[in-house]
Every structure is written in C-alpha cells, then in structure tokens.
Amino acid sequence: MNSLNKRLSAEKRFRAYGLFAVALSMFFVLILMWKIFSTGSGAFVRTTIEANVFFNPDFIQVNQNSLEKELYRASYVALADEVVRQNHPKLNEEQFIKVREMYTRKFDYQLRDYLLDNPDKIGQSIIMKITASSDLDQIVKGNYPRDVPEAQRKINDYQLSVLDKLTSEGKVSSVFNFWFFTKGDSRDPESAGIWGAVMGSLYALIICFSFAFPIGLLASVYLEEFVKPGKVTDIIEVNINNLAAVPSIVFGLLGLGMLIGVIGLPYQVPLVGGLVLGFMTLPTIIIASRASLRSVPPSIREGALAVGATKMQTVFHHVIPLSLPGTLTGTIIGMAQALGETAPLLMIGMVAFVMEIPGGPLDPATGLPSQIYLWSESAERGFLEKTSAGIMLLLLFLIIMNTAAVVIRRRLEVKW
C-alpha cells in the first residue's frame, strides 16, 4: 500500500514537472509574441499632416496637356518647399528648415505620384495628407519621450510647438501604412517598405523549388526504387543525411565560390540565392521523399507488376502519386526553412540596400530575413518597428506554408 502511494505521488510529481515545462515554454512564446507585436504594430500606421497643395502650373511648369514623361520630370522638390511655405506662412529661413524637416524627405515623390495618378488636378488646390518624417512619427506614436532636455531630442522645442499647433487644428492624423507593403527599402524609415524583400524571397523560393524539387524527387525515386542497395548507396545515404545537417552558411560559401566565383553568376541576385537555398533544401526533400516512397505498401507495387506493368510504369503510375503528399509536405517544410535562412543570403550578397523592387530573379534584391537583419542594424528608431513588422510578416509566411503542408498531407493522403 505504501509503495503504491509512493508510485502515485511520483506520477503526480512527474505530471507537475511536465505542466511546468509546457507553461514555461508557452510563457516565453507569449513574451516573444507580445514583444514583436507591441513593437511592430506601429509600422502599420504612419503619421500624416494635412496640407493645402496648389498644383500651380506656372510653378511646376506643366499643364493639363503635358505628356506623362514631362509630368514625371516636373520640379516637385521646389513645389514641396512651396507647399510648406504656404501652409506655414511667415517663417524665417531657420524656421523653414525645421518645419520642412517635420515632413518626409519623400514629399516630392508623394506629390509626383499623386499628380501622375490625377493629372486633371493641375491648376487646382487640394488638401493632401503629407507623410510626416519618421522622427515626428515616433513622437506622435509616443516612442520618443517629449519631456527630456531639448539636446537629447531629435525634434526641438520649436518643432514641438508647431506640432502641437497642427494637432490642435486637427491636421495630424494616422493612416494605414500602405507604403510598408508596396515599397522597397529606403534610407528614411517612414518610406521604407518590405515589398522588395518579399519579392526577392519569392523569386528565390521559386528558383529553389524548381531546382530542388525535381532533382530531389528523381534522386529519391532512383535511390529507393531502381538502384540495388549496396555499399555505394549506403555511402550516398550517409552523405545525404550529413548534408542535411551542414550549417547553412557553408552552402552560402559554396554559392559564393561555385556559382559566383567559378560559373560567374551575378552577385546579390535571387537566382543565386534560390540555387543556394535549393542546395540546402535538397537533402531535406530527398529524405522526406524517400521516407514517403518507403511508406507506399509493397502490395501496390506487386499489384501493378502482376498485371504486367514495367518497373517504370509501376513507379510512375502508382508509387510516385501515392508518395507525393509526403514529398510535398517535406518540400514545403524545407522551403519554409529556406525562407527563414539568412546566412546563405549574407554570403552571396543578398543583404544590400536595394530600393527597387526586383522584377525578376536576375535583379539585385534582398530577402525577407536579410531585410530584417539590415533594419535591425539601423540606428533610427523608425526602423525598430519595421524590424518587428518584418518579423511578423516572415512568421505569417512561415505559418501559411506550414499550414499548407498540413492541409496537403490531410487532403491528399490515401487511407489504407
């Protein structure tokens, strides 16, 4: 009886340890999530200042009949300064510089983009929400304290007084930050977007998939179905398993040395990034594919062979279709891993400052994780929230991919 009590209390203790372990890990996950969300959510809104904009045809030297090329080249920088002067009359030169700093440096681009979309507004006066500079944005969001000495602030007392005046007039408002999802990188946090990095990662993943999936599938089918097991296959098997455990930076070095150094592919392009990620994903795909080929019951092969199918027909008509869900699941999980890999991208240069959104796998680009890394290195407070928002987006993609893997598995898996 006594010993039974002992055993029962041992079980109770064990359960408590288990519960504690689960609770602890949940706690850390929650802290991580809370930290990322509380920091990153700011990146999805940006502060704007309402301003009266008069597209004076004499000033920008275009008219209703101007070609788009002319509209594109018009002098928007001067117009931006003019808009600031008109909305804040009676400024001396020093005050003007300070007030101009409250607006984004990309003021002119905002004006240009608006006019390109609405050329009929030439000669008219409209009210536009001009994006505020990142420093002002951070003050409005409360990320910069106001009650510290002026020398420690990026926004000085004069600018604060202007801001308060604008706020009391109801001209300061927050809007959803589309720019974050549509623009490439920028030196100015307020106009920096993740889309260039997303496209870079997308091209890299497409290359990665189209390189690694067919090769991985064919290699595993050959190894599993056609080749006679022996010493050579044993050596290959050990090497594939080892490759799966090789640190990703080594694959990056391989890409740098082989693809860029020897073959001469360009630096910092998604083509090379995708191939390197493909090298890295290949062992994962082969291992997953071989496992799922092995899980196809031998009776299916026998059934096909017994009606006179050739080995090849047996494999391609029956075995591969049945193993495909497992192979695809493994591939997607491998690609999700590849999406989050930073080290290989660093080695092949996909970590540069790229403003343009890449239009193809041969355009210079960054990847999502390297963009996050770049932003995390930046000093401006505005990039801190971009970093977290980038992580949120990366996590979202990972969740989507892993969910897709589970769904494919559930949907397509054959029940015996």
Partner 1 sequence: MVEQVNSFAIKTKNVSVHYGNKMAIDDVTINFTKNDVTSLIGPSGCGKSTFLRCLNRMNDVIESCKVQGEFLLNGVTDIYGDSIQVETLREKIGMVFQKPNPFPKSIFENVAYGPKIHGLASTQSELNDIVMESLNRAGLYEEVKDRMDDIATGLSGGQQQRLCIARAIAIRPEIILMDEPCSALDPIATARIEELINELKEKYTIIIVTHSMSQASRISQRTAFFHLGKLIEHGDTSKIFTKPDKEQTNDYITGRFG
Question: Which residues lie near partner 1 (CB under 8 A)?
Answer: 228-229, 297, 299-310, 313, 317-318, 322, 414-416
**CA–CA dist 405, 329 (Å, integer):** 5
Could you give the angle at which helices 320-340 and 270-294 cross, rounded to 10 degrees?
Answer: 140
Cβ closest to partner 1, residue 352 vs residue 414: 414
In 3D space, the residue among 246, 327, 339, 230 whose CA is nearest the CA of residue 287 turns out to be: 327
Shortest Å, Cβ 312 to partner 1: 11
185 within 8 A of 364, measured Cβ to Cβ: no
Cβ atoms < 10 Å from Cβ of 109: 16
Of 146 and 311, CB closest to partner 1:
311
CB closer to partner 1, 148 vs 307: 307
Rounded to a whole number of angstroms, the minimum distance from the CB of residue 304 to partner 1 is 7
CA distance 266 to 261: 9
Contact 279, 254 (CB under 8 A): yes
Contact status, residue 96 vs residue 84, Cβ threshold 8 Å? yes
Nearer to partner 1 by Cβ, of 262 and 307: the residue is 307
Q: In angstroms, what is the minimal distance from the CB of 242 to partner 1?
A: 26
Give the residue among 387, 393, 411 at the shortest CA–CA distance from 39.
387
Shortest spacing between CB 296 and partner 1, in angstroms: 10
Nearer to partner 1, 145 or 308 (CB): 308
- Residue 165 or 317 having the CB closest to partner 1: 317
The count of residues in the chain is 416
> Least distance (Å) from partner 1 to the CB of residue 326?
14
Closer residue to partner 1 (CB): 25 or 310: 310
CA–CA gap between residue 61 and residue 281 (Å, rounded): 56
Q: Centre a 10 Å sphere on the Cβ of residue 5 and count the other Cβ atoms it contains.
A: 9
Min dist. Cβ of residue 306 to partner 1 (A): 4
CB 301 within 8 A of CB 319: yes
Which strand ranges, in their side-by-side order, compose the sheet holding 172-176? 125-131, 45-54, 172-176
Least distance from partner 1 to the Cβ atom of residue 353, Å? 53
